[in-house]
A and B are shown apart, each in its own frame.
Chain A
Amino acid sequence: MRRLPAVVAVVVALPMLVAVLVHALGDDREGTWIAPERRRPDLSGHTLDGRPFTLAGLRGSPVLVTVWASWCDPCREEFPLLVAAARDLRGVRVLGVDLRDAAGAARAFLTETGATSFPHLSDPDGRLALELGARGVPETFLLDRDGFVVDRLIGTLTPGWIEAHVPPLLDP
């Protein structure tokens, strides 16, 4: 009983300290992404060349969705990889989501990077990026054959990421 104050002190102070540490350190550090519920994003709209397009039309194939913008320099760096993926990875579809961009600048960007071989949805108000749960640009989402998000990469795409994540979704 004589040790009661010390015991109480520990019981009170220790959780407080841990709580403060959890609150301070467990915040929104980069890379700490907690997956929301398993979802099938509904991406539909018009492509940059004005054609209606819906993601549901790609069901049956794994899809790499890239969120990009012409004002984003890292997007320019990663686009050769996406162009190569669209060309070389048989069975994989690639889709661009052009975030809050000027149409002319976006088209010039695509011409410059040679990324005209796959469709790009125009996202002038960011609704499609939010539908994906995107954190910014560039960001890549990998969807399985049923259209569910199975992985994502915040930041610039790398060959290693594609090699590690895309082949498991392909036919043996």
Chain B
Amino acid sequence: MMARLAALILTVLAALALWNSAQREPGLAERTHDLAAMVRCPDCSGVSAAESSSAMALSVRAEIERLLRAGVGDDDILRHFRQRYGDWILLSPPMTGLPLALWALPAAAVLALMPLAARRRRPPPRGSSAAYAPVAAKTVPVVALGVLAVVAGAVVIRVSHEPARPVTADQPDDPVARGRLLASAGDHEGAVRAYREALRRRPDDRAALSLLGLQLIETGRAAEAVSLLRKVADRRSRDADLLLVLGTAQLATEPERGRRTLARFLTVAPAGHPAVPRIRDLLLHSVPRYGLNVGT
């Protein structure tokens, strides 16, 4: 008896929990994500605004959130984007016109065929089953054509749809450009990931190396930046940007060594390098004993 009562209580509680979760209103972040998943990322290829971290995808998400906060309904938000971009902006645009006709025609043909097929499937007179063999033979081309259509479609999709990747500006799939964008948007961790990806592809990418070092410094990982750049900077002692980033990182970990590296930067930096005045000023006021020729 007690066991039955306990089971009943558990069942009621479970039902209440289910009902409660079904009633729960999705939060702002969830609604933003759900709507962004329906909207195409404007500067990507074939992904939704929810999936990308490109400049325009971030903008779409921010705009959806702004409109939701202003009390605009889901349908009106999608209409807002359609007014500016057309139906293209929706990942599943409304099915109208030619696409609708193309998809509806086969279904209509099947429906139209059904009465005919039913008539042909009437039980044959006794002893005449052989008469149905040619009908079976005639279905082969039908099946073959169907299979051909599906296979051809699959091949076309496979060939024409490259894996979706975010793009920025006209530098598609350039992780350095993406890293710059993420850094400018304040996503330093995202920028670090992008620059690491760039270095995996091209380990000698000098720009990616410097930028990664800068982002590591930005995210409080100066020691990691030093270990990343020291060997390369030793090898390329005339690379001003690498010396600049290495020296800046070393200021946090080994200040004396950092000043020496920055002094080296000043000796190799090309005329007009934007960091020269600041570094010169820094060294002039902190370590005049290095004997820098700061007047030139």
Contact = CB atoms under 8 A, between A and B. Distances in A.
Interface string A25-37: 1011000011111
Contacts, number: 173
A121 interface: no
Contact of B59 (A18, A27, A130): A130
Contact of A135 (B56, B149, B153): B56
Nearest to B144: A9
B46 A28 contact: yes
A134 B81 CA distance: 11
Interface residues of B, number: 60
Contacts of A70: 184
A72 B85 CA distance: 22
Given A36-B82, A73-B177, A13 B148 contact: yes
Contacts of A48: none
B160 A25 contact: yes
A71 B180 contact: yes
B156 interface: yes
Interface in A1-38: 2, 4-6, 8-25, 27-28, 33-37
Interface string A118-140: 00000001110111111111100
Most buried by B among A11, A19, A69: A19
Given A4-B116, A73-B177, A136-B42, A105 B153 contact: no
Q: Which of A130, A133, A156 has the most CB of B within 10 A?
A: A130
Interface of B: 40, 42-43, 45-46, 54-56, 58-60, 62-63, 66, 81-88, 98-99, 101-103, 105-106, 109-110, 113, 116, 135, 138-139, 141-142, 145-146, 148-150, 152-153, 156-157, 160-161, 167-171, 177, 180-181, 184-185, 274
6 contacts: A11-B109, A24-B157, A33-B88, A37-B83, A69-B181, A138-B170
Interface of A: 2, 4-6, 8-25, 27-28, 33-37, 39, 41, 69-75, 99-102, 105, 108, 125-127, 129-138, 155-156
